[in-house]
Amino acid sequence: MRILLIANAVSLLAAFATAQPQLQLNLMPMPSVVQPETGQLAIDRSFSIAITGFRDATVERGVQRFVAQLSQETGMLLKNKAAESANPSLLIHAEHGREEVQSLGEDESYELTIGESGAKLNAPNSLGVLHGLQTFLQLVEPRMNGFAVPAVTIKDQPRFAWRGLLIDVGRHFIPLSVLKRNLDGMAAVKMNVLHLHLSDDQGFRVESKKFPRLHEMGSDGLYYTQDEIRDLVSYAHDRGIRVLPEFDTPGHSGSWFVGYPDLASSPGPFKIDPEGPDSVTDPTREETYKFLDKVIGEMAKLFPDAYFHIGGDEVNGQHWDKNPKIQSFIHAHGMKNNQDLQAYFNQRLQKILAKHHKIMVGWDEILHPELPKTIVIQSWRGQESLAAAARQGYSGLLSFGYYLDLMWPAARHYAVDPMSGAAATLSPSEKSRILGGEACMWTEWVTPEILDPRVWPRTAAIAERLWSPQETQDVNSMYARLEAVSWRLDWLGLTHRTGRFQMLHRMTGGDDISALRTLADVVEPVKDYARIESVKGPWDFRAPLNRLVDAVSPESDAARHFAAQVEAYIQSGYKDQAAETQIRALFTTWRDNDTKLHRVLNQSFLLKEVAPLSEDLSALGVAGLDALDYLDKSEPSPESWRTEQLGLVERAKAPKANLLLMVVAPVERLIESSGGQRPKS
């Protein structure tokens, strides 16, 4: 937590000292302009709010939530209604209302001025008010005289108009309550689009009154009723978030065929188990379009957003190749290949969407010159693909680099910029077509209890990339602020910090989890698609996800802090005694951990697979202690010893039980350093 302490020390300093341009407050996403001032505004039980100017339900409910959250974060019972105080602690002023259906590019700016005698929040409309209130909440901290916010002037607006989070509710159903707390998390970091991947081979997740077999036969009984969707949309709207529905077609649409096999390109019957039906929609039958017109018509009413996502990715052409009727359709219409057939399908689809007043969104594969320039391309392929679309006049969203299921560290997502690479070379008008991006939470390996820790806190780093100025790039600052925002997100009911304790308890059967936590804290799931590649035989989406790989965080904070400590120790010429003491304590804990853990490993089927990891960690502890001893004695370690230890290091680098031990590299550095000639002190 060293980095965070520095950040806080700086913010404390600024509150009592004169304005410091280099001030870093624990804000995420970082606002466009932050001008620190002198002093602070106390937050006590007399805290009051007044609303002048325009006021609508968004502002009123937003203020109510703000007061409730401020109460919760401070433990003070604050008044839950905005008083018409003459001297309010916080004066809120909105110029005018927001649009009835939130639109892309609607003004989201705000100005927040905090002085010793009060704060003012001004915004053109209620969306800016919501964002400004979130900024205010992030500034609240305990000081020596009570809770306070530092005096500051903030002018803020988003860099991109589309800042989304995709949640795949098709592979694994995610209950409404879980979606709602994630909407709260999104609002806290100023995201504005929840993209729901509502259907896939494993499930069709929305009640259709027109075609009830879609959700009844096309799911395992887990779907949202239409009332629930309306509730969700309204919940999101209250928080300044649009809900974008995606019904993937013609691929990834197997769940449709269980109840309506005629839609498929290959003969049925179809069933959901175990991988989902392996077929794609038949684009050659007129009945297909009649069906789609009705489904889209029904769903278009349910989801008021102007955009509608039709997926369009990863179409398995084999089913079209094998179907003679489809092949003759291709030839009869003078098409060259399956891609032309999909373009034909998409054109028909686009007309249906236009009829229902929707703008089509789809993945890279839908890009085709015959489609109108109004459509939006969501790119999982990268900035190159996005830039190519922009040059052809299409709007686009970046999702490449923001796939949360790939288990990347926050820093790696953070480094991905929609305007970098090929996109950097675009003309201003082409650049304006890049609307923003979306973090994507695909749920092949995610059940409801696993969702929050996969999404948070990493998504906050992506939210900053999409909101803050392009120059906001300092990774150390990002991590410091990410830790601060992470515990605040906990107040919203998100379980990213505490949920795994229960999952560890499940594995031990209620036994003490402390030794298991020591191991869990320093491992990460394997990266990219390594896990699915490790599956032998067909993937079963209903398989229990209750192993250590499911319980651990995608990014090990402990390993990151450990690496920084080792680096500091080495950079100090092995003189940093405080760092060495801490490193030694960790090594000792690891060394002794395997014995402690072994008892539970040998009584639970969920844990036996992690025994080799535990042994590796203990061995690394022993090797690390030896290396420190050599460094302490300023005596180079014997080469034979190093060779042996580096063999251990290589073994420890290999993934086991789909987990990676994240502390290997710093230990390796110490082992190598111990052979050097550099004298101690």
Q: Which residues are catalytic?
A: 314
Q: Which of 584, 604, 611, 675 binds a second copy (CB under 8 A)?
A: 604
Enclosing H/E stretch for 295: helix 286-302
Task: Kindly state the smallest distance separating residue 483's Cβ from a second copy, in Å.
Answer: 7
The answer to whether residue 274 forms part of the interface with a second copy (CB under 8 A) is no
Whose CA is closest to 492, among 84, 149, 153, 134?
134
Task: Kindly state the smallest distance separating residue 110's Cβ from a second copy, in Å.
Answer: 23
Task: Kindly state the smallest distance separating residue 9's Cβ from a second copy, in Å.
Answer: 8
Enclosing H/E stretch for 219: none
The answer to whether residue 498 forms part of the interface with a second copy (CB under 8 A) is yes
User: Is the alpha carbon torsion for 608, 613, 617, 623 positive or negative?
Assistant: positive
Q: Which of 293, 313, 511, 609 binds a second copy (CB under 8 A)?
A: 511
Q: Nearer to a second copy by C-beta: 1 or 654?
A: 1
Cβ contact 461:410 at 8 Å: yes
Token pair in block for residue 280 = 């794609």
Token pair in block for residue 418 = 């929609």
Cβ contact 144:176 at 8 Å: no
CA dihedral 167, 168, 169, 172 (to 10 degrees): -120
Sites for a second copy among residues 207-266 (CB under 8 A)? 220-221
The answer to whether residue 505 forms part of the interface with a second copy (CB under 8 A) is yes
261 vs 212: CA distance, rounded Å: 14
Q: Nearer to a second copy by C-beta: 273 or 384?
A: 273
Token pair in block for residue 612 = 């080799």
Q: Which of 30, 353, 507, 628 binds a second copy (CB under 8 A)?
A: 507
What is the bridge-based pairing of β-strands 33-43 and 146-156?
antiparallel
The answer to whether residue 599 forms part of the interface with a second copy (CB under 8 A) is yes
Residue 134 falls in which region: left (phi positive, over 0), alpha (psi -120 to 50) or beta = alpha
Q: Which among 365-373, 377-385, 392-400, 479-487 is the span making contact with a second copy, rule CB under 8 A?
A: 479-487
The answer to whether residue 201 forms part of the interface with a second copy (CB under 8 A) is no
Q: First-to-last CA distance in the chain?
A: 27
Number of other CB atoms surrounding residue 622 within 10 Å: 15
Q: Nearer to a second copy by C-beta: 289 or 501?
A: 501
574 vs 664: CA distance, rounded Å: 19
Cβ contact 604:507 at 8 Å: yes
Number of other CB atoms surrounding residue 3 within 10 Å: 16
Sites for a second copy among residues 12-31 (CB under 8 A)? 12, 26
Q: Nearer to a second copy by C-beta: 149 or 193?
A: 149
Q: Nearer to a second copy by C-beta: 382 or 448?
A: 448
> Site map for a second copy, 33-52, x if CB under 8 A?
------------x-------
Task: Kindly state the smallest distance separating residue 647's Cβ from a second copy, in Å.
Answer: 31
Q: Which of 550, 555, 580, 616 binds a second copy (CB under 8 A)?
A: 550
Task: Kindly state the smallest distance separating residue 444's Cβ from a second copy, in Å.
Answer: 14
Q: In the chain, how many H helices and how many E strands? A: 26, 18
Residue with tokens 């697979």: 609
The answer to whether residue 673 forms part of the interface with a second copy (CB under 8 A) is no
The answer to whether residue 72 forms part of the interface with a second copy (CB under 8 A) is yes
Q: Which of 337, 470, 603, 643 binds a second copy (CB under 8 A)?
A: 603
666 vs 556: CA distance, rounded Å: 14
Number of other CB atoms surrounding residue 493 within 10 Å: 14
Cβ contact 99:127 at 8 Å: no
Cβ contact 522:558 at 8 Å: yes
Q: Which of 46, 502, 571, 634 binds a second copy (CB under 8 A)?
A: 502
Q: Which of 43, 484, 657, 661 binds a second copy (CB under 8 A)?
A: 484
The answer to whether residue 487 forms part of the interface with a second copy (CB under 8 A) is yes
User: Is the alpha carbon torsion for 493, 499, 505, 507 positive or negative?
Assistant: positive
Sites for a second copy among residues 111-170 (CB under 8 A)? 141-146
Q: Which of 60, 490, 576, 609 binds a second copy (CB under 8 A)?
A: 490
The answer to whether residue 75 forms part of the interface with a second copy (CB under 8 A) is yes
Binding residues for a second copy, per CB under 8 A?
1, 4-5, 8, 12, 26, 45, 72-77, 80, 141-146, 220-221, 447, 449, 483-484, 487-488, 490-491, 497-498, 501-503, 505-512, 514, 542, 544-546, 550, 599, 602-608
